[in-house]
Structure 1
């Protein structure tokens, strides 16, 4: 049974917030509640943050939906510490709810997922970005990344790329741990920190860098800076494939004709297709 599609920005959520308060023994500040499509967040009376996610059982797979908690074992990465959590199955739908309490962020998120103007990030921010991504890539895990809640397999990579760029050899050779939802809404500034770890796991090399590049394309100088900082990843063969993977999502059948990222995504993709020598 597939759960009904839900947008938590439009659904009544008071009962969910009440249950989380009882389970974790906290009071959630209703004035600070942040609503997203499939998650909620709020500050607590003990100066922490609680993130609540609704995820269909068909989207949990073998990982159990505990990404934020399991990420606590990661080292050398700027992220808020995980403190406690609770999960339960919805009594009416095939859905799991999970609430995780973490430290507060050291700064505000940079913007929405896709940035519209240059955030003017300091050099130490870029240094911390690379340190954290390098640190993450060196970790070990049995988890598989789930970007957009889809398990990231070779089949998914091939299908996504071929839907826009048929003929590319999409065989991935190097898999590394990745955050898998690496965009400007999940990163803070001016102090660098990355949060919302529910989808992290093994992914083709360069996924996070390519994701941030794609989220930066409306600001060409920022997209260029991302590519420059993560050049080693993005110029690897798998990094090129991940750039095409991200570009395919931007350029695919649901593309917004007004999206300012369309032209630069297409231009970069054409260059990569030549380098990858498509048959």
Structure 2
């Protein structure tokens, strides 16, 4: 991946920035699928991310997400602008280089699961609420979660709840789809990593951010308070159960094991107030 990043620098006329202000020297994506580094280039301070995929999977939702977002998501949704893209293959491997404007500030946390309560201004939370509202109205054929998945997975991973689990969301809307603390910047809000955005149960982003906050109860309470207009509804409670389903499933693959008990506890709290019909 580092060799591919070097090739991408050459192709896009970028050079590594040895002393970036506020940016990490490099950032790895899930299981090493992506590598991002701060660079200088034709647009000034930038962030160059390289994505890897097997050639036969280099045309799906995750591969095209950032470019689709650049075309379809309104600029009022704060995010780094995608400036240039290059793609190439090496044998069975496909690579894509994406050159973004560099975000001012830093990610709220180094990883998806929050470990320490962040100090974020009220204006950050205000803009997050507005941003999620704007994004929810974007029209797209992309999907984050499919109904067939909910029908199959929710009864299985929420079987510990008392009674049949509803699997049909009250509403669908557009979501970022991976709204965790390492994909949010501050103190000026910016949403990073637009690979997987698309349609999801309404309230999905708020529910996901809350789930990734459960290890820090103070912040989980803050999320519930700040995003109450989303989470404290039938749609929001359903979204929480859907998100909990996904994260419990991922824990079965060894991811985010520290969240298993808080997720099960939160599902038991939400379940009695869920009125969506089966």
> Under a length normalisation based on structure 1, what TM-score does the superposition of the two structures give?
0.83
- Shift of the 64–125 alpha-carbon distance from structure 1 to 2, 3 Å rule, reads closer
User: Separation in 2 of the partners of 1:170 and 1:207?
Assistant: 14
Q: Assess, with a 3 A threshold, how the Cα gap between structure 1 residues 17 and 260 changes in structure 2: closer, same or farther.
A: closer
Q: Which runs of 5+ in 2 are unaligned?
A: 20-24
With 23-32 and 183-192 compared, the bigger mean Cα shift is at 23-32
Deviating more after overlay: 268-277 vs 41-50: 268-277
Match of 2:216 in 1: 219
Please tell me whether residue 40 in structure 1 is matched to residue 35 in structure 2: yes
Question: What secondary structure does 2:157 align onto?
Answer: coil
Q: Indicate how the Cα distance of structure 1 residues 158 and 232 shifts in structure 2: closer, same or farther if over 3 A, else same.
A: farther
Q: Distance in 1 between matches of 2:61 and 2:268?
A: 36
- Cα distance between partner residues in 1 of 2:16 and 2:69: 24
Q: Quick one: structure 1 residues 88 and 240, their matched pair in 2 at CA, closer, same or farther if it must change by over 3 Å?
A: farther
- 1:24 equivalenced with 2:7 (yes/no): no
Q: Which runs of 5+ in 1 are unaligned?
A: 1-12, 146-151
- Residue 81 of structure 1 and its aligned partner are, at CA, apart by 1.2
Q: State the alpha-carbon separation in 2 of the partners of residues 48 and 143 from structure 1.
A: 27
Q: Would you say 1:179 and 2:172 are equivalent positions?
A: no
Is the 2:172–2:202 contact (alpha carbons within 8 Å) kept by the matching residues of 1?
A: yes
The alignment status of 1:190 with 2:181, answered yes or no, reads no
Instruction: Give RMSD over aligned pairs.
Output: 2.6
Matched, 1:136 2:135: yes
Which residue of structure 2 lines up, in the alignment, with residue 163 of structure 1?
156
Distance change >3 Å, CA 55–CA 232, structure 1 → 2: farther
Comparing 134-143 with 18-27, which one deviates more in the overlay? 18-27
1:119 aligned residue: 118
C-alpha contact 1:168 1:276 (8 A) present in aligned 2: no
Partners of 1:142 and 1:201 within 8 A in 2:
yes
Partner deviation per Cα, 1:231-272 (whole Å, 9 max, x = no partner): 232233332222112223444562879955444322321132
Q: Deviations over 1:84-129 (max 9, x none)?
A: 1112344224xx3222111111110011111111112111111111
Structure 1 position 48, deviation (Å): 0.8
Whether the 8 Å CA contact 1:30–1:42 is kept in 2: the answer is no
The aligned length equals 259
Report if the CA contact (8 A) 2:169-2:239 is conserved: no
2:220, 2:11 → 1: CA distance?
Answer: 42
CA distance in 2, matches of 1:190, 1:64: 28
Match of 1:99 in 2: 97
Q: Aligned residue for 2:81?
A: 81
Query: Within 1, Cα distance between the matches of 2:128 and 2:179?
Result: 11
Aligned to 2:235: 238
Q: CA offsets, 1:111-167, max 9 Å, x none?
A: 11111111121111111111111111121112222xxxxxx2112223332222133
Q: Give the 3 Å change call, closer, same or farther, for CA 28–160 of structure 1 in structure 2.
A: farther
